[in-house]
Amino acid sequence: MLTFNVSRLLKLKGIQNPTAFFMSLGYTKWQSFRMTRDNLSILSIDKIEKLCVALKCSPNDLFHFYPNPSKPLPQDHPLNTLVRYDNTQKITDLLQDLPMETIIEIVEQAKSKSRPQ
């Protein structure tokens, strides 16, 4: 089953108030609430594009595929690339036990990757 899964991306991006984030993009409070709960069945292409621009992601990042055990797909099926694993641990939790030199290296790497080419 293919599902909308923006909450994973919001966690990875460190967006603390998803409802306010969506409302800042022009979504209504109700739409924002439903999006934070990954409770959407219809999302127009222009809204997907708007989210991708705001979150600096691709449409694939917004979706999750849950394989159906009773109807397995071949391993090389493209939908299998949308199977996600929970890697949404907060960056601050990950950095907490690292030495300061390592944290500085990570920050510098992140800065170099976020600069426009």
Given this model, what pLDDT does residue 116 score?
Answer: 61
- Which residue is it, tokens 């099926």? 77
In a domain, 37, yes or no: yes
Q: How far apart are CA 19 and CA 31, in angstroms?
A: 9
- Stronger pLDDT, 116 or 102, i.e. the higher one: 102
Q: For 33-71, b where at least 16 C-beta lie within 10 A, e where not — what string?
A: ebbbebeeeebeeebeebbbeebeeeeebbbbbeeeeee
Domain hosting 75: range is 2-85
Q: 35 lies in a domain?
A: yes
Mean pLDDT of 1-7: 85
For residue 42, tell me if it sits in a domain. Answer: yes
- Provide CB contacts within 8 A for 34, sequence distance 6+: 40
Which tens digits make up the pLDDT trace of 11-45? Answer: 888 898 999 999 999 888 888 888 888 777 788 89
Helix (H, G, I), strand (E, B) or coil at 67: coil
Average pLDDT, the chain: 84
Q: Is residue 64 part of a domain?
A: yes
At residue 17, the pLDDT reads 92
